[in-house]
Each structure stands twice: as structure tokens, then as C-alpha cells.
């Protein structure tokens, strides 16, 4: 399965080139929240986005009719289509093209704002678009309407694994012959007081308020929780024959996918990491390769104490010897369901360019974490295969295997 286009809106860069440069630089985008007053909460930090080029992609009228969740999805989707050198999806292909999108929370932040308007000024103050914006499928269907796509359209809400599951299921769909071209990825716009506060209340967020750039610390001994972010990433996935016939540039290939569930706890992973390991094993089996052939891993590594420890245990158990691991949430934060799609894009770019981005804010690995990490600078790699992990609340696990395309740099 060919990845032929990438569109991204993220705190470290919007557009594939700026996003890649931001990841390679490894500079943290985390700061004190400006979107709302966070003083009631223990955490005051987020990775926000400013100055998005929405007007370059959507008309003012179209923009006004969309909440931020759908705006981000359309921005990333339209970028991805342009990046794949499609002026538009051809008419003959529109019934064989669709959208699979993941989002943990969908339009909940917009709903929160409208609820406050209702409390302050009554029902007449509520935006008429509320019912059409809050449901999880709003962004994917808006994107399909924007592009005129009549193929399968599915939105999933599988917590922080959502974006990876959307990509994996789109991969399966194309491989089975159900589509030829899919836009797949994730979008998230969670930065609203109650939404943010819900995660602060359960102590999932970093409370390193005195040092925002150092707050998100994947695998680090001093990590204390994740930093919430916003963003979106959509990939163009094409059936090989179609991509070849049009001479498409290919970033990387998707060759395997697996998903499992811990069935253990809503917020804590299984201590033995058995289902996380099995998820990776399923993806490897689907790709028909061995663990020894994986050259680098884009870890989920959200910087939660239990989550990072369980992922490290699963990786160490599966691989024995350690492939190169990079974890980028120290730079761009954690945009929940959108982040796995962002990080899948980074893995594809790392395979194409032969460089892996740094693991920002990893100063000293936690005790018992015996993995080989990228350092404070990008490192050259010659990996043929890479693995992307995504783990979410509810014990949802997803893994993708990507392969370097022959056209990539050696």
C-alpha cells in the first residue's frame, strides 16, 4: 500500500515540509495555555497552534460553518491531496475513494463552548450547526463532501489509538479491493476548559508548570504525564497499481497492521504488556516479516509513568536486541487520536529520508528501560522496515509496519 501524500497541522509545523523540519529540530512547542484560564487545574500546559493557514484552503463561508475539529481535518486532507499531486480526485475514482478518520473526542470542545453559551444566554445563543458538528463523523463527512468522495467513510473514537486504527483499517480496505484511494488519519481539537480539565482531574497531565518546554518527557525517569495538544494528519493511501500508473511519488509502503485490547483497565495498561506485544506480533505477521527485520520504532511514549513502562516492557520482550526507538511527543505534545497519524507520517518520512528525529526531553531513561533511543539530534538510519505503536485508554492497542520504498534515499 503506497503512502503518496501527507497533510499535517501540528504545533511544530503545518504542511509536510515544516512538520518534518520541526520534528528534526526537536524543539518543544509546549507552553502555558493561552486558549482559556487553566488556573483551576493542576496542569497549565498545552501544545497549541497559532496562525493556521485556513484561509488559504477554505472560503470564509465554509470556514464559518465548521468547528475547529472539522477545520483541522479539512486543512490536513486538502494538503495531503495536493502533496500527492492530485488537483482533485478524478470523477472515475470518486466511488472508489473514501475517508477513514480517528478522533478520541471529535467536536466535544465546540459542544462545550455552545453549552456555556446556552447557560449564559439561553437556547437562542446556541449555534445552529451544533448538532452537525459534535458527532465523531462530522470531520470525515465534511472532508468527503469537500472532495466529492462517495466511497467508504468511517470515523472511529478509539482513544489515543484512533489515528493508527483509521490508517490500518483503510490499508485493509484497499488491500481487500474495497477501495483504490483513501484519506486516512486523525484530527483532534480538545483544548477547552472542561475537556482539558477532565484529564487534569485524573492526574494524566504533566504538572511541570515551571518549565513548559521540558514537561513532555517520553521514557524519561522524571516524566509525570502527557501534555495535551491539538492537530491533524491525513495520509493519501493508494492501491499500488493506481499509484504506479500515474507515476506517483511514494513516501513509504504500509505492509502490516495489528490491533488488540488489554481488557484490563480504562486508564492503566496491563503490567505484563502481553496484549501490546501481541499487537506488534500481529502487525509483523501481517507484514510477513520477523522482529529482527525492524530497524526503527516510532513509539507511542506519551510520557505517562505506567504507559511508557508497559510499552518498554513489550518492546524489550518482543525484540530482545533493541531497534532504534524514537518518541516525538516531547516536541509536539499529545493530540490524542490525531497523534498516531502524525507519528505514522514521521515514520514514513524517516524511512524516506534516512534520518530519525530526536527523542526530545529524554535525559535519563527510566529504570529498567533498556532501549536504544535517538539522541538530542537526528540520526542516520538505513532501516528497511519501521514499526509504529499507538496505545489508548480502554486498553486499545494498534501497530503499523511501514517499509522503505526503493525510490527512497539509501
Q: What is the DSSP letter of 35?
A: S
Residues 359 and 218: beta-carbon distance below 8 Å: yes
Asked about 21 being catalytic, the answer comes back as no
- The pLDDT assigned to 87 comes to 78
Q: Return the H-helix or E-strand segment holding 253.
A: strand 252-261
Average pLDDT of the residues of the chain: 96
- The pLDDT assigned to 409 comes to 55
Exposed (0-12), middle (13-18) or buried (19+): which is 390, by Cβ within 10 Å?
buried
Q: Which of 44, 86, 279, 300 is catalytic?
A: 300
In the chain the domains, ranked by start, together with CATH numbers, are 2-245 (3.40.47.10), 256-404 (3.40.47.10)
Asked about 279 being catalytic, the answer comes back as no
Residue among 171, 191, 185 nearest 35 (CA): 191
Cell numbers 509525570 correspond to 224
Which range, of 210-219, 271-280, 374-383, averages the lowest pLDDT?
374-383
Residue among 285, 208, 256, 207 nearest 42 (CA): 207
What is the Cα–Cα distance from 323 to 386, expressed in whole angstroms? 9
Asked about 160 being catalytic, the answer comes back as yes
pLDDT in tens, 127-138: 999 999 999 999
- The pLDDT assigned to 408 comes to 64
Q: Which of 44, 86, 332, 334 is catalytic?
A: 334
pLDDT band for position 410 (50/70/90)?
very low
pLDDT band for position 90 (50/70/90)?
confident
The set of residues, in sequence order, having a beta carbon less than 8 Å from that of 289 and lying 6+ positions away, is: 255, 256, 385, 401
- The pLDDT assigned to 233 comes to 98
pLDDT in tens, 319-348: 987 799 999 999 999 999 999 999 999 999
Average pLDDT (254-274) is 97
Average pLDDT (290-310) is 97
Q: Which of 160, 279, 332, 353 is catalytic?
A: 160
pLDDT in tens, 372-397: 999 999 999 999 999 999 999 999 99
pLDDT band for position 369 (50/70/90)?
very high
Q: Is the pLDDT of residue 156 over 60?
A: yes
Exposed (0-12), middle (13-18) or buried (19+): which is 207, by Cβ within 10 Å?
middle
Q: Is the pLDDT of residue 68 over 90?
A: yes
- The pLDDT assigned to 286 comes to 98
- The pLDDT assigned to 322 comes to 78
Amino acid at each position: 500500500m503506497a503512502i503518496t501524500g501527507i497533510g499535517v497541522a501540528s504545533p511544530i509545523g503545518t504542511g509536510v515540509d515544516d512538520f518534518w523540519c520541526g520534528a528534526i529540530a526537536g524543539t518543544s512547542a509546549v507552553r502555558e495555555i493561552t486558549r482559556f484560564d487553566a488556573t483551576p487545574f493542576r496542569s497549565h500546559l498545552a501544545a497549541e497552534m497559532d496562525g493556521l493557514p485556513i484561509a488559504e484552503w477554505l472560503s470564509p463561508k465554509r470556514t464559518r460553518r465548521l468547528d475547529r475539529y472539522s477545520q483541522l481535518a479539512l486543512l490536513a486532507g486538502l494538503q495531503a491531496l495536493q502533496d500527492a499531486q492530485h488537483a482533485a480526485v478524478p470523477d472515475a475514482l470518486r466511488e472508489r475513494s473514501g475517508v477513514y478518520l480517528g478522533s478520541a473526542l471529535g467536536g466535544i470542545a465546540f459542544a462545550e463552548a455552545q453549552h456555556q453559551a446556552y447557560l449564559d444566554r439561553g437556547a437562542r445563543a446556541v449555534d445552529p450547526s451544533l448538532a452537525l458538528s459534535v458527532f465523531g463523523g462530522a470531520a470525515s463527512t465534511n472532508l468527503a463532501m469537500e472532495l466529492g468522495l462517495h466511497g467508504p467513510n468511517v470515523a472511529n473514537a478509539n482513544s489515543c489509538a484512533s489515528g493508527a486504527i483509521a490508517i490500518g483499517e483503510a490499508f485493509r480496505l484497499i488491500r481487500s479491493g474495497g477501495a483504490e484511494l483513501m484519506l486516512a488519519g486523525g484530527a483532534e481539537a480538545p483544548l477547552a476548559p472542561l475537556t482539558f480539565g477532565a484529564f487534569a482531574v485524573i492526574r494524566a497531565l504533566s504538572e511541570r508548570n515551571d518549565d513548559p518546554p521540558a514537561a513532555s518527557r517520553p521514557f524519561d525517569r522524571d516524566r509525570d504525564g502527557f501534555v495535551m495538544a491539538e492537530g491533524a494528519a491525513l495520509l493519501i493511501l493508494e492501491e499500488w497499481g493506481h499509484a504506479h500508473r500515474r507515476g506517483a511519488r511514494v513516501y513509504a509502503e504500509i505492509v502490516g497492521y495489528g490491533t488488540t485490547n488489554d481488557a484490563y483497565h480504562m486508564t492503566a495498561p496491563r503490567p505484563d504488556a502481553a496484549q501490546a506485544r501481541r499487537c506488534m506480533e500481529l502487525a509483523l505477521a501481517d507484514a510477513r516479516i520477523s522482529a529482527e527485520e525492524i530497524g526503527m520504532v516510532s513509539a507511542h511514549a506519551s510520557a505517562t509513568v505506567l504507559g511508557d513502562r508497559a510499552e518498554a516492557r513489550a518492546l524489550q520482550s518482543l525484540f530482545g536486541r533493541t531497534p532504534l526507538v524514537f518518541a516525538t511527543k516531547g516536541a509536539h505534545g499529545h493530540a490524542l487520536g490525531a497523534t498516531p497519524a502524525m507519528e505514522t507520517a514521521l515514520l514514513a518520512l524517516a524511512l524516506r529520508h534516512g534520518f530519525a528525529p530526536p527523542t526530545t526531553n529524554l535525559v535519563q531513561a527510566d529504570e529498567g528501560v533498556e532501549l536504544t533511543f535517538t539522541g538530542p539530534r537526528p540520526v542516520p538510519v538505513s532501516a528497511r522496515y519501521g514499526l509504529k505503536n499507538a496505545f489508548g485508554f480502554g486498553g486499545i492497542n494498534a501497530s503499523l509496519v511501514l517499509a522503505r520504498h526503493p525510490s527512497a534515499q539509501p
